Amino acid sequence: MVLNAYGGRCALSGLPVRSLLTAAHIYPDRHEMGVADVTNGIALSTLHHTAYDTLLIGISPDLRIEVSDRIFSETDGPLLEGLKALHGTGMRVPREVDFRPNRDALAFRFEKFLSAR
């Protein structure tokens, strides 16, 4: 349902290759609010999902993407530069308002990102 809500595209990069997309939880499974619901999920490529889960990328409640200083301190090829380029941009959201990310969940997760910087 999450991948469908996002039109089969990564919410951060727009990647349309469905086999490379996963549904990332905002509230983790182990959290009391970590329910399997579209509003607790974001369609992400496997790279972006891992970066989100390891707090290298954060998404603020106003849907702005922030990239950790740990990424900016690294130099490498185009994948890393692609992650850096996300900093300060907005994420794509589902057209249907009822499927958009829960802002309280985003705030919870964004605080975790900020504390890991």
pLDDT tens for 53-63 read 999 999 999 99
pLDDT tens digit string along 22-33? 999 999 876 566
Q: What is the pTM of this model?
A: 0.93
Domain that holds residue 56: 2-116
Q: Is the dihedral of CA 10, 39, 24, 80 positive or negative?
A: positive
**How many structural domains compose the chain?**
1
